[in-house]
Amino acid sequence: MMTRTRCDHTPAWAQLQAAYQATGKDFDLREAFAADGQRFARFSQSAPLVFADLSKNRIDAASQELLFQLAHESGLLAHRDAMYAGVPINNTEQRAVWHTLLRAPSDAATASAEEAQALTQVHDTLDAMLIYAEAVRADAAITDVVNIGIGGSDLGPQMAVLALDAFATSGKRLHFVSNVDGHELAATLAHLKPGSTLFLVASKTFTTIETMTNAQSAKRWFESNGGVDIARHFAALTTNVAAAKDFGITTTFGFWDWVGGRYSLWSAIGLPLAIAIGAQGFREFLAGAHAMDQHFRTAPLETNLPVRLGLLDLWYRNFHGFTSRSIAPYHSALRRLPAYLQQLEMESNGKRVDATGAALPFGTSPVLWGEPGTNGQHAYFQMLHQGTDVVPVEFVAVKKPRHHLDAHHPLLLANVLAQAQALMVGKADAGGHKHFPGNRPSTFLLLDDLTPASFGALIALQEHRVFVSGALWGINSFDQWGVELGKVLAKDIAPRLASGDTQGLDGSTAGLLGMLRA
Ligand code: F6P
């Protein structure tokens, strides 16, 4: 049962349309700053471990007020509370959406027997997983850990291990193999020895064809290169413990169907991170996310950062008509953040029907893309500054560096400030090639330091802002039916590649199949 009112059915929606026509579409950031010396203070805020400057966005107090009204009228708060309460808001799969429980402390207040039981299971599994992580860290014979998984079973742990590299104390080399393209696994295995390698087969379902194919090949390689003791050299991270056993893996760490794949970094899927940074670091990572969970759950709308970001996303997508958002982390350790956010946002909110199945008359997920700064500046920032489309940019900067090289960090920070400034202020040049129109919006997220806790908070912030826009759009952000058709067709095509049978195929697929067989 949906208790939400879809955004376009609220009174605020029509008022926002009027506000967009009256002041929104011609809003000029430079004029807004000139008119209000307090704009920075008014449109920035702190949230746990993250500071956010929203002042360089095309928003004024009146439209922001209407967006808050929209949030109230759409039932956002009730929907949020339903998520925290474990109501099956993933209505097409009848599942709760309870990743927040994965980072709740063991003594957190629970609202039902079911929640209390789930929390106990979470902590039992977490404790066991962290004991295992510490044992692996202490095992000098294991030099390499290979995570085999794809999508949420790869993007999160890979991003996190890179992001927290400064805290990696295990001395192990961590590898991530996701693609069914054998080049990836072959290149990884080429440098490994069975006796010193631990494979983590990470798959929520334990049926994903890429992961199963890579895991089978890894097992064959292990056995044919003299590897013994699968129990010691393979572990599974999955909700499908039975399938892992059938595969021959006895060391398994489970999780639950109420953990979405793209929200699973906090579960056993986070084991590579726990191995890299240790049990204490992993607990700090969970605690940082929990602090953001509490903020999202309790802060008033007006100072609730995930709410403000999600509302801004909707304002840009549905009123300004911006179709993409660029994410620019000015920290090379965050280089996989854009890829992670692509799945988080686009798999969650890339939907064309609402939760009842009715077609939507407005746009949903923006295209998310980006690269770390300053690299992006020398690639696609040209388009951001002077292209025909306006692309809101989300900068992420970290105040303290974790290296000791002189000059670099001030230069990095100068660049991120300069880019945000240049996008906004522009530069008049008679409208020609050297003219920068300016008035291009950006959000600036600032961490004091990139630590397990602040990183956890940053990722939880992103999860919740995606929840907010999805809730307002009235969609189910927690299923992903759109990935199924291609999987089914690949199963049909695979034997045809061997047999050459093109019966019933469209002309193009048949033609290409013939060329691949020739
Ligand atoms: O193909 C989509 C998807 O289901 C993602 O949602 C998920 O993260 C990924 O595949 C991997 O799934 P699994 O962890 O079950 O192997």
Global pTM reads: 0.98
Asked whether residue 22 is domain-assigned, the answer is no
Asked whether residue 19 is domain-assigned, the answer is no
d(CA 77, CA 307): 10
The whole-number pLDDT of residue 431 equals 75
Asked whether residue 5 is domain-assigned, the answer is no
The whole-number pLDDT of residue 134 equals 98
Mean pLDDT of the chain: 97
Question: Residue with structure tokens 């393979």?
Answer: 234
Local confidence band at 2 (pLDDT 50, 70, 90 cut-offs): low
The pLDDT of residue 208 is above 70: yes
Residues 193 and 325 in one domain: no
Q: State residue 26 phi and psi, 5-degree precision.
A: -105, 15
Tens digits of residue pLDDT in 81-106: 999 999 999 999 999 999 999 999 99
Smallest CA separation from ligand 1 atom 4, residue:
261
| Host domain of residue 513 | 484-517
Tens digits of residue pLDDT in 14-58: 999 999 999 999 999 999 999 999 999 999 999 999 999 999 999
The pLDDT of residue 1 is above 60: no
**How much of the chain, in percent, has pLDDT values that exceed 90?**
98
Residues 251 and 200 in one domain: yes
Please give the tally of structural domains in the chain: 3
As a whole number, mean pLDDT of residues 322-343 equals 98
DSSP conformational letter for 202: E
Residues 392 and 511 in one domain: no
Residues 459 and 371 in one domain: yes
Residues 375 and 249 in one domain: no
Residues within 6 Å of ligand 1 by CB:
150-153, 203-205, 208, 211, 261-262, 347, 480, 483
Question: Residue with structure tokens 């056995």?
Answer: 223
As a whole number, mean pLDDT of residues 230-253 equals 95
Asked whether residue 104 is domain-assigned, the answer is no
CATH of the domain at 57: 3.40.50.10490
As a whole number, mean pLDDT of residues 489-511 equals 97
The pLDDT of residue 303 is above 60: yes
Tens digits of residue pLDDT in 429-470: 987 999 999 999 999 999 999 999 999 999 999 999 999 999
Amino acid identity, residue 330?
A: Y
Residues 236 and 144 in one domain: yes
Residues 214 and 262 in one domain: yes
Closest ligand 1 atom to 238 CA:
14
As a whole number, mean pLDDT of residues 413-428 equals 98
Asked whether residue 204 is domain-assigned, the answer is yes
> Which residue among 483, 485, 487, 489 has the greatest number of ligand 1 atoms within 8 angstroms of its CB, and so is best to mutate?
483
As a whole number, mean pLDDT of residues 387-407 equals 97
Distance 202 CA to ligand 1 centre (A): 10
Distance 153 CA to ligand 1 centre (A): 7
The whole-number pLDDT of residue 196 equals 98
The whole-number pLDDT of residue 463 equals 98
Residues 233 and 332 in one domain: no
Asked whether residue 110 is domain-assigned, the answer is no
The whole-number pLDDT of residue 430 equals 85
Distance 262 CA to ligand 1 centre (A): 8
Asked whether residue 224 is domain-assigned, the answer is yes
d(CA 238, CA 215): 13
Residues 375 and 270 in one domain: no
The pLDDT of residue 220 is above 70: yes
d(CA 386, CA 438): 8
Closest ligand 1 atom to 153 CA:
14
**Active centre residues (catalytic):** 347, 378, 487
Pairing of strands 442-447, 50-53: antiparallel
Asked whether residue 18 is domain-assigned, the answer is no
Amino acid identity, residue 254?
A: G
Distance 338 CA to ligand 1 centre (A): 18
